[in-house]
Structure 1
Amino acid sequence: MDFRPIPRDLEAFQQPVTAEDIEAISLRAFGRSVRVTSAVELGGGMYNSTYRLTAEGLDRLVILRIAPAPERQFASERELMRNEYATVPFLAPIADLIPRVLAADWSREVAGRDWMVQSHLDGAPAPDRLGDYPRDLWPGFFAQLGTIAKDVHAVRGPHFGAVAGPGHATWSEAVLASLHAIADDVVGVGLDAADVRKVADLAAEHRALLDEITESRLLTGDLWTVNTMLAAAPTPVISGVLDLDRTLFGDPAADWTIRMASAKKDERTAFWETYGSRGPSSPAASWRALVYEARHLGAIRLERHRLHNSDGVRDTYQSMADVLAKLT
């Protein structure tokens, strides 16, 4: 096998598996008629370890994604791969854009980690390709993102919270559970979580505002440019959507995609032309948006810590202080 892992420090969050592990995974997924000839680790993601596999006995490339070891996962990010697997049936409206699951194994008998084999999506990662187009073509890309988000948000859920569960009967319960898990994780890595806990206290005190959301909808959790593939075309055409492992059921306004679409007044405003209106503004909706921003900031703090970005971690405290000032 031509095995090409990415060299990483022992302290790095993402850790490779061995060539023998990949051979064992191939045996489980495809049987003895398939032999992996090449395994190249891809560096685009920051959570799972991802390999592009070439194999005798398969007529095309496949992607192997391997989850972090259980002890390396935050409580607020527990078993994201299993969550993505559970979400696949709910993503039927965009089934033509997402990879097909070819095999999955939660036994952890190989390398002590969950893994999933998926079909390989054609195209190039949008962060690598979008800049090759003139900026006057970028609005078309963001309009396509608006359509995708609209289609996903139209899917109704059976509960609130992560798709794979645990499910919650109310939106406030799901939001509070998420905030408490993030706070516990922040403390667990030796950082101050007082601001996250303060947001949780305020959310609990005013849970009636959260519970104005009575119908759960599917949220992408993490969809933006980094999770899309572009076709080889004269204009930006989204050919694939990747890594929808942070999906949850709840208020569409809480989705990362909505946060990013609202962040700047630039080409991304075309998102709203296809997504549609966010609905009438109200004091309750504005207050909820602040709670959602605090939740995003807590998750960002953890990710920046994982990436050893101390300056970025520090910035989240000022941003959270600004949110708390408005909440109180």
Structure 2
Amino acid sequence: MEFKAIERAGDAFQRPVAPDHIQAVCRRVFGRDARSAVELGLGAYNSTYRVTVDGEARPVVVRFAPEPGAQFPSERQLMRNEYATVPYLAVIAPLMPRVIAADWSHELIGRDYLVQTLLDGVPAPEGLPDYPRPAWAPFFRQLGEITRKIHQVRGPAFGPVAGGGHATWSQAVIASLEDIAADLDRAGLEAADLRKAAALAGENRTVLDEITEPRLLAGDLWTVNTMIAAGAPKPTITGVLDLDRTLWGDPAADWTMRMVAKKPDERVAFWEGYGEPARGAAATWRFLLYEVRHLGAVRLERHRLGSGDGVRDTYEAVIRVLSELT
């Protein structure tokens, strides 16, 4: 089998998978051998390979979750969370990869893995620069339409799709902040600012609990997790992938909404597809609290990727947000 892996430092979070493991997966799922496996560079959590299998007309994608012991508890079993979300993402089914197989048994390799169909198109981070910046507006308008469809899906309780179950939104937010703080402790990082945010959330439960209906949040939907049509007259989304951080909650808490709000550039076209966001003092307070939660998750990710400067930047950012919350 032809095998191409990405060279990484020996202490990198993303761990390679041996060719024999990929062969074993293909024999289990397809009953045939793999002819080639190429590791894909996008994404910083799972280890992902484009695999060509004997007898299959198209390559498939095989994604391996990190080893269980390497996962932060606040990010545990994200692949299983994604798998549990598939039925709720039927509203965007034509854009999603189909799951061919999922294996949590750890019989072949001590990691969860998914085998999925390969989406058409090119990754948006690679394809968007082919267009002048003003021409990116249709992309963000379409992203708004997709996000609106996801946010219209109603759920049974607040929290992660797999393993959620909080009766109120305030309980889910506080639990998330505390879980991230505990992970920062384990990583040897200061977490007092996250605990202060959790305390503020507790003091202002009534503001959070104005959100009474759990809605589906994509969790990580942005340019890096979309595919666009190759060579189209305008950037057109053809696929959405890696929605492993889905949860039930307030749509304003979604990562997508944070990213849209960061810059008043072409991305403002998002609102043409999505509709007007919630406004008012309570909505603004909640959005600031969600920003602290996002920054806590970013801090963990930057630590995982070995970015000391990136970790330090999050502390300064949280200080600024907390000053507005209190």
Q: TM-score range by the shorter chain?
A: over 0.9
Q: Show the counterpart of 1:41.
A: 39
Q: Show the counterpart of 1:105.
A: 103
Deviation at 1:284, TM superposition (A): 1.4
Q: 2:318 aligns with which of 317, 320, 326?
A: 320
Q: Deviations over 1:222-277 (max 9, x none)?
A: 00001000112121010100100000000000000011111111000000011001
| One-letter amino acid matched to 1:8 | R
In structure 2, what is the Cα distance between the partners aligned to 1:185 and 1:28? Answer: 35
Q: Does 1:72 align with 2:100?
A: no
| One-letter amino acid matched to 1:199 | A
In structure 1, what is the Cα distance between the partners aligned to 2:177 and 2:270? Answer: 28
Q: Does 1:270 align with 2:260?
A: no
| One-letter amino acid matched to 2:297 | A
Q: Show the counterpart of 2:209.
A: 211
Q: Show the counterpart of 2:7.
A: 7
Deviation at 1:196, TM superposition (A): 0.4
Q: Show the counterpart of 1:26.
A: 26
Q: Does 1:242 align with 2:264?
A: no
How many correspondences in the alignment? 325
In structure 2, what is the Cα distance between the partners aligned to 1:173 and 1:247? Answer: 17
Within 5 A, what are the aligned runs for 1:157-236? 157-232=155-230, 233-236=232-235
Is the contact between residue 121 and residue 227 of structure 2 (CA under 8 Å) also seen in structure 1?
A: yes
Q: Show the counterpart of 1:286.
A: 284
Is the contact between residue 217 and residue 252 of structure 1 (CA under 8 Å) also seen in structure 2?
A: yes
Within 5 A, what are the aligned runs for 1:81-96? 81-96=79-94
Is the contact between residue 60 and residue 116 of structure 2 (CA under 8 Å) also seen in structure 1?
A: yes
In structure 1, what is the Cα distance between the partners aligned to 2:8 and 2:109? Answer: 17
After the TM superposition, which parts of structure 1 deviate over 4 Å for at least 4 consecutive aligned residues? Answer: none
Is the contact between residue 84 and residue 162 of structure 2 (CA under 8 Å) also seen in structure 1?
A: yes
Unaligned runs of 5+ in 1: none
In structure 2, what is the Cα distance between the partners aligned to 1:35 and 1:308? Answer: 36
Report SS of the residue matched to 2:95: coil
Is the contact between residue 158 and residue 247 of structure 2 (CA under 8 Å) also seen in structure 1?
A: yes
In structure 1, what is the Cα distance between the partners aligned to 2:290 and 2:99? Answer: 31
Q: Deviations over 1:19-53 (max 9, x none)?
A: 1111111122112xx21000100111100000000
In structure 2, what is the Cα distance between the partners aligned to 1:135 and 1:321? Answer: 33
| One-letter amino acid matched to 2:9 | D
Deviation at 1:9, TM superposition (A): 1.6
Which TM-score applies when normalising by structure 1?
Answer: 0.98
| One-letter amino acid matched to 1:234 | P
Is the contact between residue 157 and residue 164 of structure 2 (CA under 8 Å) also seen in structure 1?
A: no
Within 5 A, what are the aligned runs for 1:250-261? 250-261=249-260
Q: Deviations over 1:130-180 (max 9, x none)?
A: 010122211001000000000000000111000011321111111111101
| Alignment RMSD | 0.8
In structure 2, what is the Cα distance between the partners aligned to 1:109 and 1:179? Answer: 34
Deviation at 1:68, TM superposition (A): 0.1
Is the contact between residue 216 and residue 250 of structure 1 (CA under 8 Å) also seen in structure 2?
A: yes
Is the contact between residue 26 and residue 53 of structure 2 (CA under 8 Å) also seen in structure 1?
A: no
Is the contact between residue 51 and residue 64 of structure 1 (CA under 8 Å) also seen in structure 2?
A: yes
In structure 2, what is the Cα distance between the partners aligned to 1:277 and 1:286? Answer: 14
